Amino acid sequence: MTNIIPVIMSGGAGSRLWPLSRQAMPKQLLPLVTEQTMVQETAERFDGDIFTDPVFICNALHVDGIRAQMAEIGRDVSAFIVEPVGRNTAPCAVVAAVHAAAQDEEALVMLVPADHHVKKPEKFRDVIAKAIPTAKAGYLVTFGITPDGPETGYGYIAQGEALEEGVYKVDAFAEKPDLETAKAYLEEGRYAWNAGIFLFSPESFLGEAQSYASEIATEAKKAYERASHNGNVIDLNKEIFAACPSESIDYAIMEQTNKAAIVPCEIGWNDIGSYTSLQAARAEIKSDDQGNAINGSVMVEASENCLVHTDSLPVSIIGLSNVGVIVHEGEVMVVALDQAQVVKKIVTRLKDSGETHRL
């Protein structure tokens, strides 16, 4: 039987969810959607004999937190690979592949972000199983999300010819579209959202990486080989890893290779990428009759489709529509959910004004 090594990329800062997500306790370490934290949800997703214990790639700051959260749900961690600096997903994927190959030459790597919500994990496991032969045949398989609307916030992947039932060659990657284009994609039917979830054999992936992103392949591998080890914590060599180009796996490899495959799937996926999507995910699980998703001591009057979260002071809202109110760790943010992308600007202002202690 093929082993699958889940490699959970947990290096993100989640700054679009500030002030919920903070440097010391970012998005992936928080119970954002369910009562489990995002890394707990993600680890639980890879339940079954086919999966090994997970590997986390993360910042040194978060090793202890992840370890404690995994202990909480009774899960062992195979290894923590510590990134001394963030270098986007391409170096991360190379390190994952090199590490996996060192563990088990026959295993596949399941590379996933730590901070996504999947409402239907059984369906996710089904499509993973379906993708195994294709991945074993050398394809770099990505799992695309079948759109349920003309979303402009995600990249899209167009499927080409069928390889297996429900598995296709990738025809093209497309940037975040405008609304008209997104509607056309939806109409056409062969486009899926790019969710940044991959299944591949280390050998095949490393071959493609060497062909299309040789500097990244070489340097990231070297950073892993010259890592220092402490128990199950692997500290990538800082100097070498920092010198590695910072590129996404899509840009550096997936968009270049002829071996990209896609499995479109409907797994109740939500990237919790903004307060807008957090509101949607929470409201699906629990909301009042007006679609307000509430967490903490909150009174609501004449409001609809709001997200209210408080860890401390009681909150009252009146007459609001599609607004997020976040009271968390000494900060209050009130944001129109259709402008949730602007949260980044606040984070930038705090950085620029030297108020990094608030991040």
For residue 351, the minimal CB distance to its own copies (Å) is: 13
Of 192 and 317, the one with the shorter C-beta distance to its own copies is 317
Which of 310, 352, 354, 357: binder of its own copies (CB under 8 A)? 310
CA distance 331 to 314: 13
Of 5 and 320, the one with the shorter C-beta distance to its own copies is 320
Burial class of residue 267 in the structure, from the number of CB atoms within 10 Å of its CB (0-12 exposed, 13-18 middle, 19+ buried): buried
320 binds its own copies per the rule CB under 8 A? yes
351 binds its own copies per the rule CB under 8 A? no
Total number of residues shown for the chain: 359
Of 186 and 336, the one with the shorter C-beta distance to its own copies is 336
Which of 74, 149, 231, 319: binder of its own copies (CB under 8 A)? 319
For residue 337, the minimal CB distance to its own copies (Å) is: 8
Q: What are the counts of helices (DSSP H) followed by strands (DSSP E) for the chain?
A: 11, 19
Which of the ranges 40-48, 166-174, 195-203, 313-321 carries the binding residues for its own copies, by CB under 8 A?
Answer: 313-321
For residue 293, the minimal CB distance to its own copies (Å) is: 15
Instruction: Yes or no: say if 232 and 78 are a contact pair by the CB < 8 Å rule.
Output: yes
- The 8-class DSSP code of residue 304 comes to B
273 binds its own copies per the rule CB under 8 A? no
Which of the ranges 88-96, 165-173, 207-215, 311-319 carries the binding residues for its own copies, by CB under 8 A?
Answer: 311-319
Which of 24, 258, 332, 351: binder of its own copies (CB under 8 A)? 332
CA distance 272 to 289: 22
Element of type H or E holding 70:
helix 63-72
Q: Helical H runs in 245-314?
A: 249, 275-285
358 binds its own copies per the rule CB under 8 A? yes
Which of 24, 290, 299, 311: binder of its own copies (CB under 8 A)? 299
Long-range own/partner contacts, residues 69-76 (CB < 8 A, 24 or more apart): 69/29, 69/37, 69/39, 69/40, 70/39, 70/40, 70/43, 72/40, 73/36, 73/40, 73/43, 73/44, 75/43, 75/44
For residue 280, the minimal CB distance to its own copies (Å) is: 17
Which of these, 225, 206, 227, lies nearest to 217 by C-alpha position? 206
Which of the ranges 39-47, 78-86, 209-217, 329-337 carries the binding residues for its own copies, by CB under 8 A?
Answer: 329-337
Site residues (CB under 8 A) for its own copies?
19, 299, 301-302, 310, 313-320, 323, 325, 327, 330-336, 338-340, 342-343, 345-346, 349, 358
